[in-house]
Structure 1
């Protein structure tokens, strides 16, 4: 078995779940981070272990610095230092125009989707960087097509947070390229995940999917394939890059 260790934030459902399962199939030990749904996270772990893999569920709010630091320590103690980070955890709220978006909502979105990504990247770099005696590694940030499209009338706060993720990806990739760490991003579009229910429209993919050039929504597994490729040695010369998985939009 490949002894590499991967952390997937928001790994209990959707794209995170699909990625955790695929990484386990590739031989990674997988740390499945979650914030609320213990049962769902444990189901992912159980599924991995049933196939002979190694996995661990870790509850942590990535927007909380102390919890992120503690999570990385748990992983190091139980699995070893991580080789791969998938920054996937994210939140959005009810579809809304800007007139009804509160400061509290904006800050909650930015805290998880931006600060959380920064904190996880920071701790990963400390572990991976050859400057600090690490072996190198790879980071994939899950952004969104919304960073390009803006999500008008729905969630421009979420779109703006993903714009920040794009900037983080570009800047960090240049900052750590010389230390053996690759940093890339995927930008999913309309994907069948539970996140749309958080925005108040569980059937959004079915409503909008037919308008895409490919005339359908995407599956979490399709995004996971791109993430796992970016983490792999097959992408060894790829950094600071973005893969759009948005059906042509």
Structure 2
């Protein structure tokens, strides 16, 4: 029998067979797997669009819903753990900077105190969006609209997510410029010992509705609790689906806390 020629200028070369086999059984499946990884839930997500503060009225928002941190019975039996795993792990430096910024925000004179800007600006390197949000609140308090706008813009460009709430008067109209007060969030985390760590908080003093009766704040994208709910103040009505003990979540990047109604 005449042997098969391997002359590259004549007939079929075995190397082409190898290349075709690799393409069919390796390259094509790898391409298909990568494509599905990009689009399937939990796969590699595309880079999210930044939250542009000036366009906040157009942000797609989703209502917050209660979400338990405890595993269901079958999951608990399988893992021997009580709580679900949360894919949320800020750096030690970020936590330290946020804790210092929260301590400043909880000062009774935080909004009016002089000389806090340099330290907050320095903290922004690690505390990120939170320190910039505090700078924005201080600028709003002293009537510097341009500086407040710039600080809010920086905060939301760096924020993983946001929470907002519409403020209404008793007649249903938007309460432009209404003072809301302090709004606080706690982001519970699950420790290696399967316990809840409630130490990570964001506190926003002096929150006020904008010209369209909306307030919006930058937050982490994780399960959270509203530990300083605006509706808890006298003379206000709001969602009764959550309180300081309710753990909440929302799809997307912007969570809607429901309307806040000023009853008087």
By relative contact order (CA 8 Å, sep 6+), the higher-ranking structure is 2
Q: Which has the larger radius of gyration?
A: 2
TM-score if structure 2 supplies the norm length? 0.25
Question: Relative to total residues, which structure has the larger helix share, 1 or 2?
Answer: 1
Question: Relative to total residues, which structure has the larger strand share, 1 or 2?
Answer: 2
